[in-house]
Amino acid sequence: MTTALCGCGSNVFQGFVGEPEKNLLESIEDASTTEDYSRLITAADEIINSSTATDAEKAEAHLIKAEAILGKSNITALDIMAELALSADQDTNPINVLSTSASLEDLIAASTSLSAASDLGDSGNEEQNLMKGIVNTMIVMNTITEEFTINENGDIANSISNYSDSLEAIMYPDPSNTDLTILDYTNEALEGFTNSGALTAEQLTETETIKTQITEIETLNESGENDENNIRNALETIFQGF
C-alpha cells in the first residue's frame, strides 16, 4: 500500500526533496528536518480525515504520522534501545534514562495514531511495533517525571504539596481521557516491544519490571490510602524498584 500525498487537487509535498510527488513511505524515508516531519503529519492528517480514503490508506497514514511525530522530536529507535541496554546492564533507574524532552502531548498523539492503525486492521510491522514500545514507554516515564523528580536512588527529590493529588495525576497521562491509565500505556509498550522481536532477554525483562512497578502504582491509587507520608513512602519504594 502506497498512499500518495495529494488532496484537494494539489500535492502537499510538491517540491519535497526536489521531487514533484511522493507517497507517504517515500517521504518518511527522505524526511530529515522538523519542517519535513511537520509537513508529513499534515499530509497524513489529510488522508486520515478524508471521506474517500480506504481504511488501509488511513491505517498507513496513522503509522506514518506516528513515525513523523517521533522524527520531529528527534527520537530514534537506536537511541532508545541503547538506553534500555544501559538501564538493564548498569542497573540504572529507567525513570530518568527513558524520559525524553519530547512533549507528552506529541507522544500521546503518536500512541493514539498507532492504536487507530491497529483498530483499522494494521498492527504494523516489527519496526512499527518497536516504535509502539518506544512511544508508550516514554509516555509512562514522562508522566512520572513531569510530576516527580526522581534521583538515582529512587527517592523523590522535589517538593510535593499533596501526594494524593500527585498520585492521581500520574495515573492519567492524558487528563482528557481518563479511560486510559498509565498501566494501559505500559501494557501497550510491552506488547509493542514483544511483537517487535527487537529486545534482548535482559531488555525485555526490564520492560516487564516497569510493568510490575506501574501495576504497584495503580494498586496504591486504588487502595484508598490518604496518609501523605504513607503515600510518599510507598511511591519511593515503587520508584526504587524500577
119 and 194 in a single domain? The answer is yes
Q: Which of 56, 72, 88 is the last residue of a domain?
A: 72
2 and 39 in a single domain? The answer is yes
Burial (CB count within 10 angstroms: exposed 0-12, middle 13-18, buried 19+), residue 161: exposed
Cα 18 off chain centre by? 32
Average pLDDT over residues 25-39: 86
Angstrom CA distances, 122 to 58, 59, 63, 128, 180, stand at: 10, 6, 9, 10, 21
96 and 134 in a single domain? The answer is yes
19 and 107 in a single domain? The answer is no
175 and 59 in a single domain? The answer is no
Of 170 and 242, more confident: 170
Of 76 and 174, more confident: 174
C-alpha cell at 145: 517525571
pLDDT attached to residue 90: 61
90 and 176 in a single domain? The answer is yes
Average pLDDT over residues 110-117: 95
2 and 107 in a single domain? The answer is no
101 and 187 in a single domain? The answer is yes
103 and 216 in a single domain? The answer is yes
C-alpha cell at 174: 492524558
Q: Which of 29, 52, 72 is the last residue of a domain?
A: 72
Three-state DSSP state, 51? coil
Three-state DSSP state, 10? strand
Q: Is the pLDDT of residue 65 over 80?
A: yes
Work out how many domains the chain is built from and give that number. 2
pLDDT attached to residue 228: 97
89 and 146 in a single domain? The answer is yes
79 and 191 in a single domain? The answer is yes
**For residues 29 and 67, is the Cβ–Cβ distance under 8 A?**
no
184 and 108 in a single domain? The answer is yes
The type of residue at 78 is L
Q: Is the pLDDT of residue 108 over 50?
A: yes
List the domain range (segments joined by +) for residue 23: 1-72
Contacts of 240 (CB under 8 A, 6+ apart): 153, 154, 155
% of residues, the chain, pLDDT over 70: 87
